[in-house]
Amino acid sequence: MMKYSMFIIVILFVLSSCIKRQKSNNTGKSKPNIVFILTDQWRSTAIGYDGNSIVKTPNLDELSQEAVIFKNAVSVCPLCTPYRAALMTGRFPTTTGMFMNDLYLPERELCMAEIFKSAGYKTAYYGKWHLDGHGRYNNVQPYRRQGFDHWKALECSHQYNNMPYYENEDFEIKYWDKYSPFAIVEDAGKYLEEMAKDDPPFLLFISLATPHFPHNTAPEEYKQIYPLKDLKMRENVIEDKYPQLREELQGYYAHCTATDKAIGDLILKIKDLDLYDNSIIIFTSDHGEMMGSHGIRPKEKTVAWDESIKVPFLIRYPGIGENEGKEVFSPLHTPDILPTMLSLADIKIPDPIEGEDLSFTIKNPEKQKDRAVLIMSVYPLTITPVTEYRGIRTMQFTYVKTPEKATMLLDNIADPYQLNNLVGKPESRKLQDRMDRLLRKKLKAIGDENFKPKAYYPEIWGYDFSEGPSIPYNVTPGKITRVYTPKK
């Protein structure tokens, strides 16, 4: 009898230890896993659940019914590197100096994976990184991975059918053997299997480079879903200006649908491993795609139109309950994502973070309130059809200024295609003044109230752009390209 009692005591002790290992320090609840799915250049309107009747995204449509849907999620700076830096740090491009593509996010910045690691999480990163600044095909050294330990990633590539990557401590370049969203999700499934066995809380970041151009490289079977004659353009598109526009849109939608399939496979794997109910799952994109809207070429972003700044954003969290499928119209921008994730995981939000915690709104969508969020282009690409700007997006309005003048005032409810610019119109004067005061207040809070022309910012951050600020897309694998580091 005594041996039997001791056996029971040992079993109870082991079970108690396992439970404690999974508990949060503050609430007594299990720490949620985090699965973050980031896509590239996927605008908010190119998705089924947002009302697009042409594009096929059945898996994301299904996920939206089990998640909270942010209808006004915007990219704080609609360009790859600035967005990713703001996401990882919860700080603004003007604070970190990460205002242009192919810059290096210094190790001194406190980043997402480092914070989750300090709370006991395992961390893993798959896919496109674009925060290293040491050349798009150069290996991101382990000490520059900002807290991500398990690593199958590359700085930047859009060779979807021959995608290169580096694996953990192996510095030899490798290649995915199939369309990269399918290959990455399949490999990430193996990581999930290991996490399900060991049962630690984990942060898994899946960075898929689609549906970013080149659009013609989408899988052929997915292109066939979209006959050119059946494609419908947005009402603000000037189709005659771009003869290849339908081919571009066909490939873009094909990438969207193929990527949706990969995301569906990932969600199914999470469910099969019984990880779904204790996971925070986020799906979003870094910025949108103009695709001919307002006469701006396909492949373009960085501008302040909704096609560029608005992105899809779904979040599912443990215990979501009756909030499944609820819509939030209160705007969210990039720096808000990290503090919101930390709050939902019951992790203290570090002081350097500048974004706002929106976890209350996520858990109480019926109590959502309007707010203004910043958008900006600090150092536009040379091909961008507008100059540098700062702006705000609210539930209803977009307001944008350059260093010289106001350029946009749009009522996005009355004018969803943004065809009626209200700037300077006498009947809109009071509204414009109010929006201008609100923008100045937001900029003052981050020390950018008197923002300058773009040439000012490389100088104060010590960057030398004398050879041009952008690394070419056709760089050779393994070759170290230009590196932008501060002047000494």
Within its chain, how far is the Cα of 212 from the centroid? 13
Q: Give which of 108, 104, 125 is closest to 116, Cα–Cα.
A: 125
Q: What is the DSSP string of 277-337?
A: GGEEEEEEES----TTBTTPPTT---SSSHHHHB--EEEE-TT-GGGTT-EE-S-EEGGGH
Alpha-carbon gap, residue 72 to 306, rounded angstroms: 10
**CB under 8 A, 24+ apart: contacts of 384-388:** 384/300, 384/302, 384/303, 385/296, 385/300, 385/303, 386/303, 386/304, 387/453, 387/454, 388/451, 388/453, 388/454
| Structural tokens at position 143 | 């000490």
- CA separation (Å) from 349 to 25, 111, 115, 336, 445? 15, 11, 9, 11, 18
Give the burial class of 161: count Cβ atoms within 10 A of its Cβ; 0-12 exposed, 13-18 middle, 19 or more buried: middle
* CA dihedral sign of residues 408, 413, 416, 420: negative
- CA separation (Å) from 215 to 65, 219, 229? 29, 10, 17
| Structural tokens at position 192 | 């999930």
First and final C-alpha spacing in the chain: 75
Q: Give which of 357, 443, 332 is closest to 95, Cα–Cα.
A: 443
| Structural tokens at position 8 | 């029971």
- CA separation (Å) from 351 to 27, 89, 97, 354, 355? 21, 11, 18, 8, 10
Residue 80 is among the residues annotated as catalytic for this protein: yes
Question: One of 77, 111, 130, 156 is an active-site residue; which one?
Answer: 130
Query: Under DSSP, is residue 23 helix (H, G, I), strand (E, B) or coil?
Result: strand
In our burial notation (b when 16+ CB lie closer than 10 A, e otherwise), range 272-292 reads eeebbebbbbbbbbbbbbbbb
Q: Letter for the amino acid at 23?
A: K
Beta-bridge partner residues of 313: 284
Q: Are 32 and 292 in contact (CB under 8 A)?
A: no
Residue 130 is among the residues annotated as catalytic for this protein: yes
Which amino acids are annotated catalytic?
A: 80, 130
